[in-house]
Structures are given as structure tokens and as C-alpha cells.
Amino acid sequence: APSALPPEPPAAGDGVALTVVVPMPAHGGLDARLSYRHPHALPAGTLVRVPLGRRTVLGVVWPEAPDGAAPAREALRPVQEVLSALPPLPDEWCALVAFAARYYQRSVGEVALAALPPALRALDAAGLQRRLARLPGAGVAAPAAPAPPLTPDQQAAVQAIAAADRPVLLFGATGSGKTEVYLQAAAQVLQRDAQAQVLMLVPEINLTPQLEARVRARFGAAVVTLHSGLTPAQRLRHWLAAHLGQARVVLGTRTAVWASLPRLRLIVVDEEHDPSYKSQEGARHSARDLAVVRAHRLAAHGCRVVLGSATPSLESWHAAQQGRYRLVELPDRIGGAARPVLRLLDLRQQPRGALLAPALLEAIQARVARGEQALLLLNRRGYAPVLACADCGWTSGCPHCSAHLVFHKAERALRCHHCGHAAPVPRACPECGNVDLVPLGRGTQRLEEHLEQALADLRRPDGTPVRIGRLDADTARTPQALQQRLAEVHRGDVDVLVGTQMVAKGHDFRRITLVAAVNPDGALFASDWRAPERLFALLLQAGGRAGRDAAFMAAQGSRAELWVQTAYPQHPLFAALARHDYPGFAAQQLEERRAAGMPPFAHQALLRAEARTLEAALAWLRLAAAQADGLPGRAHVTLYAPVPMTMVRLAGVERAQLLLESARRPALQALLAAWTPRLHALRGASAARGLLRWAIDVDPLGY
Ligand code: ADP
Ligand code: ZN
Ligand code: ZN
């Protein structure tokens, strides 16, 4: 582990050599760790400005002596400026960055500088003084809102967190009081230690303004937020408040895992299953996984980490089953609201081409006429298209894997994104001969229009026409627009809300009594083998929006229902959903994954390439695969055939990828570490002609 020792004792006369990490990717043998000259030693973590080529860049003094191959001190360029008004970044922060760089195969400098607020790069000493002057987060205010007394289960959970010697997985239904557990666990930590800091990570801050309000009500001025919706200046101020120890609670999205927190004692990862914790750019890190690593390194200082969810990721659930994580459960909902009853609609028995089954439409009409609200969930996540037969239910499975073949329209081909198997598109269904094969999950764009027509003559209890609202990426472009849409629903201005995944997340709607999933089948058989896991979570969360107000339900004499339209009502996912049985679903999924040798029983990495032509991208990937021969770990790692990506053409760039898989994480890591420098060295190879970019994605979330 890096130490805080100065890299080298001061030398007489010409100063000392320092290792400084700078923002550049690792290539050409350079590692973004450079040596500079300075009159005296500087502590590791000190922010400095150094020359790089013709530019001046922000860098961090790194806890390492310059290597022997570095030029003599006299030949080194000098450090230009030391940001001495700021304390150095903590050792623990440098160690986290070093770990992430190694694990995700990036240069330390690239990770370190991406982890700092962008505005810090442009800041000079004078600017620094001015902000420092107006930092938020000074001091813990007395709680503005008193904390409710905990239920016995909640109390046990708070105690388990304080006593845990490993990460805690807090498994509790929506509305079971998980957030209250986070808040009181945090309060305990802050009270015990007058300088302690707490990091609370959430998937998307704009979707859950209620949560931010609750945290602020509890911890007042001690809270700062860190997320991409802040202006660069706000982000810098909040970052500084955390770095200087003034902010005691940092509430943020995945980027906040990098916050410099000199006295971090608790990390909360809310909705830990959410894919948005995985970054899709830069080092492509998982903030959840780094949170666990970070807390582990600080365990000796009493730092704890809690991952919370009603539908944990299978990785975390598996870890809890193995005992690597401590499972803590909140089995009951606060206030005793009933969970929704599942109603499956067999699409094979509905009129052809109907977007909404007649029975569902009638149910919606009846509820709206009674003054209740309905929520229709449209699955629009970019699932790769899988071919299916609407008559018999056949889907295009891979003969070699438990994955589905992806429909590549341009080449009229089906391809497995796992093993690379390719086949022509069949003329007719291999099972029943139906010639009308279509990709699953299409034809929903017209739903809103269809609803407008179907509900045109209906009236609400007050005699006014029924109103339909829509919530998706188009209607909620800005946080303000999103808040406005949500407010309309809360006020009751909207009777039927049609929306994508974002309607399912954590909203506390009071008058919705019916939720319907219109087209979940695309996700049921998507080529992305994680899709069933996501779909189960989505449907459970969406169903959780119905019937939340027990008093309203009783007054209406209404029953909360979750309707699902599917051509596959026998699928085991729905049986588990009807029982609200996440553990049963997880056990069945894990068994499938174990049999197929897929995560969490295997570890994966993707090498992605972008080129002007698909041939160039594939040729380079084949060359890259050959470079892995004989490297450490290679015997335990499977390299699959390169395949074009589903969205093969994006903005004139052709994209392809190569999957690596191993049952042993260390073997995969060893191979990647030895392989990456060779890939950098491939730049001049003939197959690299036409290649634009490549990148490694460790623990990819979809492909
Ligand atoms: P979750 O995070 O699991 O969805 P919350 O912590 O948001 O659950 O709790 C659900 C609701 O119950 C919230 O309105 C919350 O204020 C309330 N609540 C939670 N714990 C208690 C408690 N011990 N006493 C009274 N109300 C509580
Ligand atoms: Zn068929
Ligand atoms: Zn396959």
C-alpha cells in the first residue's frame, strides 16, 4: 500500500525528484506517472500544476519514488505551482485510485484526474482562496426533522450495520424502512465521532428528490450533493467541502464514490442493483464495487458499507449466500400496506395486434371512472432484438449457450453475442412454420394514441375528460421537466400515466392502484442474459407503485394489481413475481448461471474496438486475441470469437467486441495486466489501420 512518506529525501542544491500523475492514457510505454523536479519534497496527494508537452496540467504527487529509469534530476522539468492552500488528498484516496487503475486497466493519471472535479483543473491560487471562503456544509445542524422510533427489525438492522465485520446487504421490500435505517445508522456514526463522514450513493438523484429532502431534513447544513447535474462551480465547492471535512454527509451518484473524504466511516449504496452504478465511459468502473473496496480498506478505522435493495443484484445476493456479505432483512412493509396481486394476460389468446388486451383496457377504465390512477409501463430499454414467433412462442436461442441470438437486420443474420455463433435468419418458424417472424418488443410507439382513442368517451368522477400523461426521456429532458411531470401525477391531473423504466423508481404515488407492464417479453428473452434479472427487479419495483396508501385503498374498496401482458405466462419469473419471492427467483437464476458458467460464477471482460469498417474492427480484435497467447493466466481464460456489436454502426463508426471469460478472477486480471501493454503496442500493426479506438471493459454489464 502506498505510504505518505516523501518520495525522496531532499537533496542539496538541485532539489528532489517527485512522481506526479498527469491526465493521460497509458500508451507507448508511458504510464502517466512522470517525474518532475521541485526544491523540496512534497507529501503524497499534493495537487500541483506541471508542464506536459506545451500545456500546463493539473497533477497529483504520487506516493511512489521515481523509477530508476527516470532521467537525472537536473534534466527534469520543474513543478510550476503547488496548490498549497489545499491539504493533500488522503492516502486512502490515492490507494483507491491506484486499485481502480489496476483493476480496470487504465493509467493511474487517467483515473486520478477523472476522479477530481473538472473545475479544479482551471483553478488558480486566488480562485481557490475565494471559494474556500464560501463553502457549504460547515458543521452539523441539529436535526430539523426528528427521527421516528425504529421498529424492532430496523433497530436490529442498525445494530447489525454497526457491528458488521463485512459488507451488509440490506434486503427489504420497497417501503420496508430501508432509508430510515440508512439515516439512523448515519446519525449514529456522526454522533460518535465529531469529524466522521458518511457517503450515501444513489443511482439517479433527479428521480428521487424525496430522498434528498429527507437526508437534508435530518442532517441539515452538513449535507452536500455530488452529481453531474451540478454546475462545475457547485461541484467544486461541494467537493472541497467534503475534502476539507466540513461536509459530514455526501449524497451523490456514482461519481461521488471518488469524493475525497478524510474521515469516511460509513458508505451506503441505495438500490445497489441499479445498472447506473456502472460507468459506461472512462475506466468503466462500478461505483458499487469500488464502495465495497473502499470500505474494506478503511475497515480498521471502523468504516462500514451497506448495500440496500428490494431486488439485490445476483452478484451481491450470491456473496451474501456465501457469507462474504452479511444478509440483513426487513421483511415487512411499514404501515401494513398490501402488496399488489399479479394478473397475467396471455397474449396468445388476445385479438391479433391488440396493444392492450380488452380485459386490461376495461380494468383501466373502471379504475379511472372511480377516481383512481393507472400506470402503464413500457419497456424501451435498448435490448438487442431477438427473433420470436407470435404463434407458438419459439425464440431464437443459441445452440451453444444459454444466450439468445441477436437479430442483425443489415446482414439478415442471427448472432450469439456470447460465443459468436452465427446463422441466417430463418424464412419461417422452425417449430410451427409461421412465416411472420418479428423481433420481440416492437410496435408500442402507438400505445399513447391508442389509449387516447380508447378512453376518449370516458369521464372522471367529476365529469371531466380523462387525461393521459407520458413520462420518458423525451418528456423529461431536464430535471425541471421531470419534476413537473411527476407533480402532475401527484396532484391528480393525470389519470393514466404511460412511461418507461423511470416511472418505476422509488416514487411515492398515493392514488395509483393499477400498474400494467405492456410489453415485457423483449426483456424476457433478450440476448443480454442479465435481462430477466433486470425485468424481475423492474416489475417488482413498478408493482410497488400501486396501492401504497392503505387508507386510500380502504376508502375506495380497491385492490392493488400488477397486470402483465405476455406470450409466456408459464415463465418461472412470473410465478416468483406472483409470490413476491425474490429469494426463489434468485435461486433459480443462480442455478442457471452456475450451470452455464456465467457471472457471478465466471468473471468477464470485453475488448471493444471501433473502426471505419467492420472488417478493420474484427481484424484488429483477432490480432489482439493472438497477442494473448502464452501470457500469464491465459490457460484459465476463454477468449471468444470477435462479434459485431448489436448497434454495429453508430455515427459512421463500426463497432465490434471480444469477450474474455474465466472462472478465476485473478487469472483474468493477470492476463489483462500483461495483455494491455501489448495492445497499446499494436498501434503500428497493419491490422490497426482504420482502427479508431479500443477499450477494455472489466465486469461489463451488457453486451
Ligand atoms: P424504503 O427505503 O425501504 O422504501 P422508507 O425508509 O422510505 O422505506 O420507509 C417507508 C415509509 O415509512 C416512509 O414514509 C418512512 O418515513 C416511513 N417509516 C420508515 N420507518 C419508520 C418508522 N420506524 N416509524 C414510522 N414510519 C417509518
Ligand atoms: Zn412458431
Ligand atoms: Zn452462443
Q: Which ipTM did the prediction report?
A: 0.95
Residue 8 in this model has a pLDDT that exceeds 50:
no
Q: Find the DSSP H helices in 79-119.
A: 91-103, 108-114
Q: Do 11 and 73 touch, CB atoms closer than 8 A?
A: yes
When mean pLDDT is compared across 85-89, 286-290, 336-340, 548-552, the lowest value belongs to 336-340
Q: Do 117 and 232 touch, CB atoms closer than 8 A?
A: yes
Average model confidence (pLDDT) across the chain: 87
Residue 437 in this model has a pLDDT that exceeds 90:
no
Write down the pLDDT at residue 141.
52
Q: Which residues, in sequence order, are CB contacts of 582 under 8 Å at separation 6+?
A: 171, 310, 311, 312, 536, 540, 576
Rounded to an integer, what distance in angstroms lies between the CA atom of residue 414 and that of residue 408?
6
The residue whose grid cell reads 419471492 is 581
For ligand 1, whether the C-beta of 308 sits within 6 Å is no
When mean pLDDT is compared across 133-137, 381-385, 508-512, 671-675, the lowest value belongs to 381-385
Any idea which ligand is nearest the CA of 527?
Answer: 3
Ligand 1 atom with the shortest distance to the CA of 310: 3
Rounded to an integer, what distance in angstroms lies between the CA atom of residue 364 and that of residue 312?
31
Q: Do 668 and 603 touch, CB atoms closer than 8 A?
A: yes
Q: Which residues, in sequence order, are CB contacts of 597 under 8 Å at separation 6+?
A: 661, 663
| Number of CB atoms found within 10 A of residue 54's CB | 5
User: Strands 168-172 and 326-330, how do they pair?
Assistant: parallel
| DSSP summary character for residue 331 | -
Half-sphere exposure of 61 (CA within 13 A, CB side): 33
- Copy the grid coordinates of residue 166: 463485512
Specify the DSSP element, H or E, that contains 30.
none
| Residue to mutate, 179, 307, 333, ligand 1, most ligand atoms under 8 Å from C-beta | 179
| Angstrom distances, CA of residue 338 to CA of 150, 172, 578 | 20, 15, 13
Which residue pairs, CB below 8 angstroms and at least 24 apart, start in 645-651? 645/417, 645/608, 645/703, 646/384, 646/385, 646/406, 646/408, 646/417, 646/527, 647/382, 648/408, 648/410, 648/614, 649/410
Local structure of 483: helix, strand or coil: helix
For ligand 1, whether the C-beta of 550 sits within 6 Å is no
Ligand 1 atom with the shortest distance to the CA of 508: 14
| 399 CA → ligand 3 middle, Å | 6
| 520 CA → ligand 1 middle, Å | 30
94 is in an annotated binding site: no
Local structure of 555: helix, strand or coil: helix
| Angstrom distances, CA of residue 344 to CA of 349, 451, 517, 567 | 12, 20, 10, 10
| DSSP summary character for residue 429 | -
For ligand 1, whether the C-beta of 178 sits within 6 Å is yes
| Residue 471 β-bridge partners | 499
Write down the pLDDT at residue 419.
77
Which is more confident, 477 or 289? Answer: 289
Rounded to an integer, what distance in angstroms lies between the CA atom of residue 419 and that of residue 638?
10
Any idea which ligand is nearest the CA of 406?
Answer: 3
Local structure of 691: helix, strand or coil: strand
For ligand 1, whether the C-beta of 150 sits within 6 Å is yes
What confidence tens digit (pLDDT) does each residue in 341-359 have? 999 999 888 887 678 899 9
Specify the DSSP element, H or E, that contains 525.
none
Any idea which ligand is nearest the CA of 416?
Answer: 3
The burial class, CB within 10 Å (0-12 / 13-18 / 19+), for 446 is exposed
For ligand 1, whether the C-beta of 176 sits within 6 Å is yes
Q: Find the DSSP H helices in 220-286.
A: 232-243
For ligand 1, whether the C-beta of 217 sits within 6 Å is no
| 569 CA → ligand 2 middle, Å | 16
What confidence tens digit (pLDDT) does each residue in 191-221 have? 999 999 999 999 988 777 788 889 999 998 8
Residue 181 in this model has a pLDDT that exceeds 60:
yes
For ligand 1, whether the C-beta of 172 sits within 6 Å is yes
| 334 CA → ligand 1 middle, Å | 6
Q: Which residues, in sequence order, are CB contacts of 536 under 8 Å at separation 6+?
A: 311, 573, 576, 577, 582, 585
| Residue to mutate, 151, 154, 180, ligand 1, most ligand atoms under 8 Å from C-beta | 180
Rounded to an integer, what distance in angstroms lies between the CA atom of residue 603 and that of residue 101?
18
416 is in an annotated binding site: yes
For ligand 1, whether the C-beta of 148 sits within 6 Å is yes
| 418 CA → ligand 3 middle, Å | 5
392 is in an annotated binding site: yes
For ligand 1, whether the C-beta of 334 sits within 6 Å is yes
What confidence tens digit (pLDDT) does each residue in 409-422 have? 777 888 887 778 88
Which is more confident, 396 or 601? Answer: 601
Q: Do 540 and 309 touch, CB atoms closer than 8 A?
A: no
Residue % of the chain over a pLDDT of 70: 90
Write down the pLDDT at residue 251.
97
Any idea which ligand is nearest the CA of 334?
Answer: 1
For ligand 1, whether the C-beta of 177 sits within 6 Å is yes
| Residue 169 β-bridge partners | 307, 327
At residue 139 the predicted structure's pLDDT band, cuts being 50, 70 and 90, is low
For ligand 1, whether the C-beta of 544 sits within 6 Å is no
| 703 CA → ligand 2 middle, Å | 27
